[in-house]
Structure 1
Amino acid sequence: MTTQLPQADLNWTALRNFAMLRGQLRVSLTPKCNEKCWFCHNEGDVPPPTTHLHRELRPREREMTAKDFLNVLGGLMDAGLKRVYFTGGEPLLSPLARPVLTQLPHHGPDTTYTLITNGTLVRTHQEWLSTTALDKVKVSLHYFSDESLKAIANTRIGIATILDGIEAAREMFERVELNTLVQRENEHELHSILDFALDRRLPVQFIELVDTDFNAARKGSAIGAQGIIDHLRTLTSDEEVEVSGVGQGRRIFRIDGIEIDVIHRELGRHHVGQCGTCPVKPKCVEGFWSLRVDHAGGIQPCLLREDLRMDIRPLLTEPEKIPAAVARHVSAFTEGTL
């Protein structure tokens, strides 16, 4: 779908600036997951560990069809968003994963499609995944043994399934990356995860915990990234800091050409407009770095503020109007008038 950007009186500046600063469009295909990671925020929906403990608390019902997702995606890409991430829950659990990912709009060299997955179902769906236009698969690897997997994700799935999923992704895609949330439960395995990544020439990102209400009960599990930073400095002197763009600052290390990122809260974060007076700003370590489109027909610029979620369901029958509505929403957010 090609969207004609409408009348001149609509201000596209905030949305385009967000896109130019490498802001992400995150498309959550489903809130369902076959893991129950204790820190999960489920892209702003009810997380699986919460549902597991409190059966009366359920995620939102799905309102979007595959066609709806593709229409929204195409329109927002035409409006300038270039970095698209498909998430969940676990996105490969969604019945919409195949019809969406196998019909992605054609894109130019400056646009990327990334699948974020826990790796457990990659081998199962390898046949059709290999036909998609995905540029990258990013696998969450927060554990490196059955013991730490159980402690972190509360699942009976074995680590071998996840490691095999990573190998399946490598068989299909040139670009496969790992991301690891640094925590007390995996602190003893961080070096092993790094070695695994370097042996396979996989970029890896180590991330400090984002402190939110979703994980308040396990704050004792949060540890800083200084330990892995110190270790990386024994392996390389190629280090730089990036604080431009959107979201949190990061340290970038390169070892034999492989990029290792560390999302480090000490480098600061990027806030906009109403973030200055936001009542939850003291809890926020992310800033405004993504627009999230969810399976229930919402678009949200901030996970911590449910009141900022925009309902696009009334526009799904007129998808050509959605980019303009999103542009207005982002402008109001950045100006602090939302």
Structure 2
Amino acid sequence: MAVPLDHSSAVDYTALRNFAALRGQLRVSLTPRCNIACWFCHNEGDIPPPVTRANRSLQPRMKQFSAENYLTSIEALAGAGLKRVYFTGGEPLTSPLARPVLENLPDLGADGSYTLITNGTRVRYHRSWLAGTRLDKVKVSLHYFSDESIRAIANTRISIDAVLDGIEQARGIFPQVELNCLLQRENEHEIGSILEFSLNRRLPVQFIELVSTDFNESRASSAVSADALIAHLRTLTADERTEVTGVGQGRRVFRVDGVEIDVIHRNLGRHHVGQCGACPKRTHCVEGFWALRLDHTGSLQPCLLRDDLRLDVTSLVNHPGHLAETTASHVSAFTEGSL
């Protein structure tokens, strides 16, 4: 049951509710650890696996949250309006908290949804209990389509067969399975094959242009424009629309034989709010404010590029009403530019 809000409170929930109404996400990072190490990983604002592999002295922040802490926070924030919940990592299925969290998720009602974002390699191992969760959808990252490209992109000996098997396992468990693929030089020659794979299995797929962060700027030359893909999709279908409303980057949406293909295209703009106006990182921010990130340290972060805007909620998890109020106030200050 969602935590009831104190409507007599002086806290203004308008900004938080507007963010939720614009399809803003609550992204819950269960762990910063991953069994692969994609070079572009931003790890939801923590030290990414490839950085740790290169320098063991650089480690993610220490875990503070328990499964109960996560569940209390999700319920409180859902009660405040954040009902689009995405579970991320690292790789969430490497976390010992994945099962106790995902098996005990509160009911979000008809207007809520839970999505697991995974690299697919651990789905088969966890399939028995995953089938009993409230997850509505699984998004599998398919940035590669051969052993050669998965080695080049993810720095792993894991075979592409494990990822493809994970997709098939997910299809047998969940009502919705989608794919996402980051466009890059390392997989440019395989984009057509990934598209064909998704169409043959009638799986929606989202192609994404690279978002630059401090952790991947040394390989910025790997970024690939979506223009060639968009031109190809226009040879397959005339069913195209552009979405620039809501939060996050604009996207082009194609429907090919009933299968939805999204292209996150930086040319379509982004959703910036008050705090963004004077932000020193505004010039290279292509996303704006589209997600609140709750991580393993008990921090809520409204912006991937600004660690200084993190809100520590560890002291609030035993007071769900206060957690919701404090989050609402934080989002209000962020959108008003006064944080």
Residue aligned with 2:230, SS: helix
Instruction: Give the drift of 1:319.
Output: 2.7
Instruction: Give the drift of 1:264.
Output: 0.1
Which runs of structure 2 are paired with 1:106-255 in the superposition (5 Å)? Answer: 106-255=107-256
Aligned to 2:5: 5
Please state if 1:294 is matched with 2:295. yes
Instruction: Tell me the amino acid that sits aligned with residue 303 of structure 1.
Output: L
Residue aligned with 1:332, SS: helix
Contact 1:225 1:264 in 2 (8 A): yes
Instruction: Tell me the amino acid that sits aligned with residue 121 of structure 1.
Output: R
Deviations 1:26-73 (A, max 9, x none): 000000001110000000000000000111010011110101000000
Deviations 1:84-108 (A, max 9, x none): 0000000000000000000010121
Residue aligned with 1:50, SS: helix
- Unpaired segments ≥5 residues, structure 1: none
Please state if 1:40 is matched with 2:48. no
Residue aligned with 1:213, SS: coil
Contact 1:22 1:82 in 2 (8 A): no
Instruction: Tell me the amino acid that sits aligned with residue 201 of structure 2.
Output: R
Residue aligned with 1:278, SS: coil
Instruction: Tell me the amino acid that sits aligned with residue 2 of structure 1.
Output: A
Aligned to 1:316: 317
Instruction: Give the drift of 1:249.
Output: 0.1
Deviations 1:267-297 (A, max 9, x none): 0001000101100001100000000000111
Residue aligned with 2:85, SS: strand
Contact 2:2 2:78 in 1 (8 A): no
Deviations 1:201-253 (A, max 9, x none): 00000000001211011011011001111110110000000000000000000
Bigger Cα displacement from structure 2, 259-268 vs 308-317: 308-317
Aligned to 1:261: 262
Instruction: Tell me the amino acid that sits aligned with residue 4 of structure 2.
Output: Q
Whole-angstrom CA distance in 2 between matches of 1:8 and 1:105: 24
Residue aligned with 2:216, SS: helix
Residue aligned with 1:131, SS: coil
Deviations 1:100-123 (A, max 9, x none): 000010121211100000000000
Residue aligned with 1:137, SS: strand
Aligned to 2:31: 30
Instruction: Tell me the amino acid that sits aligned with residue 43 of structure 2.
Output: N
Residue aligned with 1:138, SS: strand
Residue aligned with 1:10, SS: coil
Please state if 1:333 is matched with 2:334. yes
**Size of the alignment, in residue pairs?**
338
Instruction: Give the drift of 1:2.
Output: 3.1
Aligned to 1:89: 90
Instruction: Report % sequence identity.
Output: 66
Whole-angstrom CA distance in 2 between matches of 1:320 and 1:176: 34
Contact 1:24 1:290 in 2 (8 A): yes
Residue aligned with 1:231, SS: helix
Contact 1:16 1:79 in 2 (8 A): yes
Whole-angstrom CA distance in 2 between matches of 1:298 and 1:95: 19
Whole-angstrom CA distance in 2 between matches of 1:97 and 1:144: 27
What CA RMSD, in Å, does the superposition of the two structures yield over aligned residues?
A: 0.8
Contact 1:300 1:309 in 2 (8 A): yes
- Unpaired segments ≥5 residues, structure 2: none
Please state if 1:19 is matched with 2:9. no
Contact 1:19 1:82 in 2 (8 A): yes
Instruction: Give the drift of 1:4.
Output: 2.2
